[in-house]
Amino acid sequence: MKAHFYADSGSSAGHYLNAIAAEGWHYTVSYNQWTGPRERIAQALPSPAWKASGAARHTFLRHQPEGRNTPQLFAVSRQRDDWFDRYGFIACDDAQSDAAWVGERHRLKGEREQLFREVLSGLDLHRPPCSALIANQVYYLIAALAYDLMVAIKLLDLNDDCQGWRIKTLMKKRVLLPGRLSQRARQWVAKVLVPGAWLHWWQRWVQRVWPEHGPGRPRLVVATG
C-alpha cells in the first residue's frame, strides 16, 4: 500500500512538487498561491466537465506551474460566493480519479493538524526548515523524539498540578532557563538559575541523572584494563 502525503501551500512550489512526485506517493498539496492561470483554465471548461457534490462542483485540470518539470494534475472545486465563483485548487498525483473525494480527503489534513497542534505550535514545526525532503524527515524525527522526551518528563517527574502544562509552558519552565558558562582552573562551569520553588526538584533530578557526581569538582576516575 502506498503512503498518502498531505501538505499545505508551503510545499506547493514547483521544486517541492517535483520532489514529492518523485517519491511515488499518493499526495495532495494545497495550492492557493498564483492561482490566476488555473482560474482562467477552470473558467473556460464546459459545464459537463464539472461534477456536482453538495453546494460545490468539482473537476480536474492540468497545468505546469513554474519550477515543475511536468504538467501537474489539480483537483478543482468551484463554489458560488454571492455574485462570483470561488475556486480552490489541490495538486495531486495522477492516480486520483474523483475530484470531490480528493477535496474531502485533503480536509482530513486540517483535522489531523488540530490533533497535533500542540506538537506543531509547541516546537514550531509548521514549516519545513530545509529544501531537501530527506533532511526535513530527519528534522521532524528529531522533533518527535524531543516531544516524547518532554512528555515523559512531565508524566514521570512532575506533580499533578503540572500535568495540564502544554509543551511551550514545559519548555519555558524546564528548558529555556537563564544561565552562565564560565571557565575556572581549566574547567568549564555551568551555572543555571532556577526558581527557588523548584530547587528541590532540580536537586533530585541531578542526583538521579548524575548520581556519581556530588557538589564540587568531579572526582578523577582512572580507567583500567
Give the pLDDT score at 218. Answer: 59
Whether residue 225 has pLDDT greater than 60 = no
Whether residue 210 has pLDDT greater than 80 = no
If you count them, how many residues does the chain have? 225
Q: pLDDT of 184-194, one tens digit each?
A: 877 888 888 87
The H-or-E segment that residue 120 falls in is helix 117-122
Give the pLDDT score at 36. Answer: 86
Give the pLDDT score at 122. Answer: 77
Domains of the chain: 4-115 (3.90.350.10), 117-176 (no CATH), 179-209 (no CATH)
Q: Mean pLDDT, to the nearest integer, of 62-91? A: 90
- The three cell numbers of residue 119 are 506538537
Residues 6+ apart with CB under 8 A from 199: none
Task: Put the strands of the sheet holding 26-30 in their side by side order.
Answer: 4-7, 26-30, 84-92, 72-81, 56-63, 51-53
Q: Long-range CB contacts (< 8 A, 24+ apart) of 139-144?
A: 143/119, 144/119
DSSP code, position 222: -
CA atoms of 180 and 119, how far apart (whole Å)? 29
Q: pLDDT of 128-187, one tens digit each?
A: 888 888 898 898 889 888 888 888 888 888 888 888 888 888 888 777 778 888 888 778
Instruction: Decide: 181 and 193 in contact? Cβ < 8 Å.
Output: no
Q: Mean pLDDT, to the nearest integer, of 211-215? A: 60
Cβ-in-10-Å burial (0-12, 13-18, 19+) of 21 comes to buried
Q: pLDDT of 80-134, one tens digit each?
A: 877 888 899 999 999 999 999 998 888 877 766 666 777 777 787 777 888 888 8
